[in-house]
Each structure stands twice: as C-alpha cells, then as structure tokens.
Amino acid sequence: MYNPSNFVARNHHCSICPNNGINDSINVNSFTHIQSDLYAGAIFMEQSLKLDTYASIFALLAVAAVFTITGGLTAVVWTDFVQTILMIIGAIALTAIGKSIIIVVYQVIIVYHIIPSIALY
C-alpha cells in the first residue's frame, strides 16, 4: 500500500520534487482536520455545557493528551467504554422522553376526541 508521495516517487521517478508538495498537502490537510474537529467539539460543549470556547478547546486537548499518553489499544478500549456508557444513558433518556410524549399525545387524543375509537394494545 502506498501513500500519495510514495506513489508519485515510484511512478514518476522523482525522489524529491513531488514529495515535498504532497507531504505538505497531507500535513496541511491533517492540521486543518484537527482544527475543525476541535472547533466543532468546542461549539458543542459551548452550547450544551455553557462553557467558554477556549475552555472547551483546552478540555478537548486535555482529553486527547490523556488518551495519547496512555496510548495504543488501551486508549481505544477506554474510549469505546466511555462512549458505550454515554450511548446507554442517552438511549434510556430518549426512551423515557419518548414514552412521556406518547402518553401526553394519547391523552390529548382521548380528551378531545380526535379519533373516535382508538385502542392501544
């Protein structure tokens, strides 16, 4: 498997010229991707947790640093564990909210006779 710089160097018989541009392109792309991920996470934390943008970015960087320092597969396993717990909590909350909305809608239908005969089995 080749990355773009290896591909160009092998197929165009140039070892220096295209590699610099391609490596720069890969580095710039990675750098902007990291920036956009941090900013998107900061916006989410700002709106949901009412944190400052810079505080959110530093919190995300701290979490990323801890995962990087602990390293490797252990960090991936712990990340998956935390995400699983958050998804279970979210699913339980969504189920409770959905059930309460369905009960309210059913009561409105019965009280205002929107549908004359309705039975939920």
In whole angstroms, what is the distance from residue 27 CA to residue 82 CA?
A: 30
Residue 59 near residue 45 (C-beta atoms within 8 A): yes
The residue type found at 67 is F
pLDDT over 90 at 58, yes or no? yes
Torsion angles phi and psi, residue 116, rounded to 5: -55, -50
Question: Is pLDDT above 80 for 14?
Answer: no
| 73-86 tens-digit pLDDT | 788 888 889 999 99
Predicted structure pTM score: 0.48
Is 57 within 8 Å of 34 (Cβ atoms)? no
Q: Which residue has the higher pLDDT, 8 or 79?
A: 79
Give the C-alpha separation, 66 to 54, whole Å: 18
Chain-centre distance for alpha carbon 54: 19
Per residue in 80-116, pLDDT (tens digit) is 899 999 999 999 999 999 999 998 888 887 777 776 6
Give the DSSP letter of residue 113: T
